[in-house]
Amino acid sequence: MIEIKNVSKWFGEFQVLADVNEVVQRGQKVVICGPSGSGKSTLLRCINGLEPYQKGEIIVDGVSLSDPKTNLYKLREKLGMVFQRFELYPHMTVLRNITLAPMKVRKKSRQEAEKKAMELLDRVGIPDKAGAYPANLSGGQQQRVAIARALAMEPACMMFDEPTSALDPEMIQEVLEVMIGLAKEGMTMLVVTHEMGFAREVADEIIFMDAGRIVERGRGDEFFKNPKSQRTKDFMGQILK
């Protein structure tokens, strides 16, 4: 459902993405890994139009992002995104965080939106926190709320930008569990992460990016056992220590 064709992006003189090609089918789980600055986060942001790209094309469910007539807002409804620093709205309760977009964008009624929100909170394991403010939640809880917030718009695909990188080790597992649950339910997922255990368990395809390029891609275990390029070997050596 997502096609990325020869996409390149520059920040001024600096090339952030170079000839990236990828196809993500519905129901697939793709994990992207690589050193910082390799363009992984930028790629995600290009897919939902948060960042522009200069060359190539990205097509989501048949709609091209290069087309000036494309309604970016409608497109973003299809793609849920979870950020490294959770980015919950600090001035709103957890419940309101989740119901804001459904009510304002989908024009759902308050009851409908809140009902759905409570279901989602239940699913991520913290229904009791509905009335709390983000500041009163632990990092792991905040991230789970962020996932619920993204799910509230019933996206066709969920994108995760290093969802556990800002978490204390004890809390990483609770978030990964939610993500694994999502994967098992058949959600299409694009995950930028260093959590290789998660990748092993869930990913259909693993992509290694470096300096804006896709250096190597492979399926599950094959990727871990036989990385083809030296760069990949070095990187995997580092993080699998």
Partner 1 sequence: MDAVLKNLPYLLGGFLTNLQLAAFALAGGIFLGALVGLGRISKRPWVYYPVTLYVNFLRNIPLILVIFWFFFVMPILVGKTMDPFVSAAVSFVVFEATYFGEIFRAGFQSISKDLVSAAYSTGLTYRQTAAYILVPIAVKRMLPSLITQSIITFQDTSLAYVIGLQEMVRRTTIVDGLEVRSVQLYTFVAILFFVICFVGSRISLHYEEKSRKAKVL
Residues found near partner 1 in the complex (CB under 8 A): 45, 48, 50, 73-74, 76-77, 79-81, 83-85, 87-91, 100-101, 104-105, 133, 135, 146, 149-150, 152-153
Residue placing its CB nearer to partner 1 in the complex, 59 or 166: 166
Residue placing its CB nearer to partner 1 in the complex, 145 or 214: 145
Residue placing its CB nearer to partner 1 in the complex, 81 or 191: 81
Residue 60 near residue 75, CB atoms below 8 Å? yes
Q: Which stretches of 92-151 are assigned E, i.e. beta strand?
A: none
Q: Smallest gap, in angstroms, from Cβ of residue 153 to partner 1?
A: 6
What are the backbone dihedrals phi and psi of residue 29, each rounded to the nearest 5 degrees, phi first? -115, 120
| Contacts for 13 with CB less than 8 Å, ≥ 6 apart | none
- CA 77, CA 102: separation in Å to the nearest integer? 10
| Contacts for 130 with CB less than 8 Å, ≥ 6 apart | 93, 94, 95, 117, 118, 121
Q: Smallest gap, in angstroms, from Cβ of residue 152 to partner 1?
A: 8
Q: Smallest gap, in angstroms, from Cβ of residue 224 to partner 1?
A: 31
What's 11's DSSP letter? E
Sign of the C-alpha dihedral computed for residues 221, 224, 226 and 229 taken in this order: positive
Residue placing its CB nearer to partner 1 in the complex, 20 or 146: 146
Q: Smallest gap, in angstroms, from Cβ of residue 88 to partner 1?
A: 8
Q: Smallest gap, in angstroms, from Cβ of residue 49 to partner 1?
A: 8
Residue placing its CB nearer to partner 1 in the complex, 107 or 241: 107
Q: Which DSSP helix (H) or strand (E) runs through 181?
A: helix 169-184
